[in-house]
């Protein structure tokens, strides 16, 4: 796992229960599934490979079913 962190290829788990504070700026998934960030990575991979066209809204390329 530390190799991935060192190479900047690691994907860390995400949660909707974020810390609250004045200095910390966090966003949530706003009711989306807990694995939504993995679906975003998959959509980004398809975009980079050219399998998916560039679109205005991410929701049109990320399937949450």
Q: Which residues contact 27 (CB under 8 A, 6 or more apart)?
A: 18
pLDDT of residue 60: 66
Contact indicator for 57, 40 with CB cutoff of 8 Å: no
- Which of the pair, 48 or 60, is modelled with greater confidence? 48
CB neighbour list of residue 52: distance below 8 Å, 6 or more residues apart: 43, 46, 61
Question: Where residue 37 falls among pLDDT bands split at 50, 70, 90?
Answer: confident
More confident residue, 44 or 2: 44
- Average pLDDT of the chain, as a whole number: 76
Q: What is the pLDDT of residue 49?
A: 93
């Amino acid at each position: 796992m530390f190799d991935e962190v060192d190479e900047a290829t690691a994907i860390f788990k995400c949660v909707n229960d974020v810390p609250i504070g004045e200095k910390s700026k966090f966003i949530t998934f706003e009711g989306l599934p807990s694995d939504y960030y993995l679906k975003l990575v998959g959509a980004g991979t398809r975009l980079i490979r050219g399998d998916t066209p560039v679109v205005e809204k991410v929701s049109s390329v990320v399937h949450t079913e």
